[in-house]
Amino acid sequence: MVEVQVVEVKDGSVLSGVIWMLVISLLLFWLPVIGPLLAGIVGGKKAGGVGKALLAVFLPGIILAVALFMLASMMTGLPVIGALAGLGGIVFALLGIGPMLIGAIIGGALA
C-alpha cells in the first residue's frame, strides 16, 4: 500500500508580496481606497505573515513614485514642469500606502 502525504507550505516571500502588491495596485489605480487595500490584502497573504507584509508594503509605493517622477520628467519638454508634475505623482503614489498598509496587516494575519 502506498501512503501519500500532502505537505502544505505556508512560507511566503517578500518579493512575491511586492510583485503582487505592485501589479494589483497598478491594475486597480482607478479605485482610490479599495484598490490599494485589495493589493495589500493579496500581497500580505502572499508574503506569508505580518512582518514580511510590512516589509513588502513600502516597496511598491516607492517604486511607483520613482517611476512616476522619472516618466513625468521625461515626457515634458520642460524639465522643471516635469519635475513638479512628477512630485505630484509621488504624493498620489505615497497616499496609496496607507490603505495598502492596512490591507497588508489584514492579509498577513490571514496567512
Say if residue 7's pLDDT is above 70. no
Q: Which residues of 37-59 are buried (b: 16+ CB within 10 A; e: fewer)?
A: bbbbbbbbbbbbbbebbbebbbb
pLDDT in tens, 52-97: 898 888 877 677 777 777 777 676 677 777 777 777 777 777 777 8
Q: Is the pLDDT higher at 62 or at 6?
A: 62
Decide if 1 is inside a domain.
no
Is 0.85 topped by the overall pTM? no
Hey, how many other C-beta atoms are within 10 angstroms of the C-beta on 21? Answer: 34
Domain that includes residue 51, residue range: 14-110
Decide if 44 is inside a domain.
yes
Q: Which residues of 70-86 are buried (b: 16+ CB within 10 A; e: fewer)?
A: eebbeeeeeeeebeebb
502572499: which residue's cell? 46
SS3 of residue 6 by DSSP: coil
pLDDT mean across residues, the chain: 81
- How many domains does the chain contain in total? 1
Decide if 8 is inside a domain.
no
